[in-house]
Amino acid sequence: MSHPVPTQAPTQAPAAIRLSGVSVELGGREVLKGVDLEVHKGEFVAIIGPSGGGKSTLLRVMAGLLKAKQGTVEVVGQPAMVFQDYRLLPWRTVEQNIRLPIELTGRGKIETHLGMKPYLKLYPHQLSGGMKARVAIARALAQDAEVLLMDEPFAALDALVRERFNLELKQLHERTGKTIVFVTHSIREAVYLADRVVVLTGGKVEAILETRGEGRITAFTDGLEAELRERLGVADSTFIEPSPEPLRPPWEIFGVLGLLTAFFLAWGIMAARVPVFVPSPLEVWQAMQQNSGLLVRNALATLQTAGLGILASLAIGLPIGYAMGQKRSLERLLSPFIVALQAVPTIIVAPLLIIWFGYGLGSKVTIATLISIFPVLVSAMVGVREVDRTYREVFQTIGATAWGVFWKLEFPGALPVILGGLRLTVSLALIGAVVAEFVLGGGGLGHLAQTEQRNFNYANAFSAVAVTVLLGISLYGLVALLESYVLRYRRK
């Protein structure tokens, strides 16, 4: 039985969405073919059809995420969109995800009728599918847009939770009066929720059916279904109980202790065989106690050089790495020079640095920076490219500025990779500081170790090396703690 395709709904409300002769081509295939559709303000329209029929494509055209090859698209304001996979930012809490449109645009409001107050401080990985759907809807509503586009938001939910959400969405529509376009595969869902149902097959509108009135199906009042639902209870969305952190197996602790014991045992054996050149661990410990003041002063000097090198690497490497991550042409242009700079031994560059900066702190910091900047560059470049591009569509539908995309998406999204690179950077900066002190002198643990070695005070030289090792472990540990705190949302 064929149905006529009406061009307008029986309502006097003005159009919120108007599509005229819209055609879209993706990958050489015409996905939408001359679609004409008008959705009026305050109307709830459902779109159903087989997979690959163009439903999601049509919604993306309405959202401005895809450009039509032919035809015109008119939408009142910037529509909000709820994606099928929700696209919640994993580094933001529930509350922060909901407030994202307000932070990016400076306008909007929070919907207070979605029952999420107990979950505001949780992260997305702690939420069930139902609660993720609530958060995605709340984020879209916070945009306070006239038009709300929903791409199968309940597809992954079980039947009971889905029924509850259908009821809540219907109440939400009645309360807010927003224009809603809802894509679904469920005929029952479409008929229950919508004022009109658009049947889309093969990229064409086959029919537009009225579903207003007393004939509407309702799963909450249909005899046997209602009784079963009463016996089962009304499903609700919950959060996922976090699994307890697994305890470290004893062999890991004993393994570390075993390696340390083996190391000091081998050191003691070597010291016994060549006592003139290799002091024992006890002798080194005694030298550290006797020269504690001298070691602290030189450690602070080395730490200053390494710290400034780290800051310089971040200040220079992050912007360049970000730009290279955004523009592959820039990566191709700069990569040969960066690789060549890393391939040149520092000892060759040192004489030039002495001419330019003298023997002072500037030359030392430059050497530390040259040695440690490469991981920052690479991690920033890779981190920006690792950001899931589907999140960019969320920011596009919100109407975020370039700065908003960088500060709220690209930087936090790249942070896991950047912090991983920073672990290597701090170690290399410390090495660069010690190498600079070897070459340029002027204080620091490297210079101290070299001086004591020349004076045949090997215990003192080893004590400087030991403090350098402790300094390196401490810097690495600080970065690991920072990473653990910043990336706490990844704990599962």
Shared-domain flag, residues 66 and 140: yes
User: Does residue 239 belong to any structural domain of this protein?
Assistant: no
Beta-carbon neighbour count of residue 96 at 10 Å?
Answer: 17
pLDDT at 244: 54
Whether residue 229 lies inside any domain: the answer is no
Q: Is residue 236 part of a domain?
A: no
Whether 268 is in a domain gets the answer no
Identify the weakest region by mean pLDDT among 172-186, 269-283, 295-309: 269-283
Residue 38 is part of a domain; what is its CATH number? 3.40.50.300
- Please indicate, yes or no, whether residues 202 and 317 belong to a single structural domain of this protein: no
Q: Is residue 157 part of a domain?
A: yes
CA distance 85 to 87: 6
- For residue 325, the domain's CATH number is 1.10.3720.10
Residue 102: inside a domain = yes
What is the rounded CA–CA span in Å between residue 424 and residue 428?
A: 6
| Residue range of the domain that includes 80 | 15-223
Q: Is residue 251 part of a domain?
A: no
Report the half-sphere exposure of 398 (CA within 13 A, side-chain side): 32
Classify residue 9: in a domain, yes or no. no
Mean pLDDT for all residues in the chain: 86
Q: What is the model's pLDDT at position 314?
A: 97
Strands (E), 175-290: 179-183, 196-201, 204-210
> Are both 280 and 219 inside the same structural domain?
no
Q: Are residues 464 and 389 in the same domain?
A: yes
**Averaged pLDDT, 102-123:** 84
Contact between 132 and 124 under an 8 Å Cβ cutoff? The reply is yes
How far is residue 302's CA from residue 305's CA, in Å, rounded to a whole number? 5
Question: Tens digit of pLDDT for each residue in 302-347?
Answer: 999 999 999 999 999 999 999 999 999 999 999 888 888 888 777 7
* Stronger pLDDT, 352 or 287, i.e. the higher one: 287
Per-residue pLDDT tens over the stretch 80-109: 999 999 999 999 999 999 999 999 998 888
Give 239's DSSP letter.
Answer: B
Strands (E), 78-178: 80-82, 147-151
- pLDDT for residue 53 is more than 50: yes
Q: Report the number of distinct structural domains present in the chain.
A: 2
Separation between Cα atoms, residue 370 and residue 349, nearest integer Å: 10
Query: Could you read off the pLDDT of 174-186 as tens digits, one per residue?
Result: 999 999 999 998 8
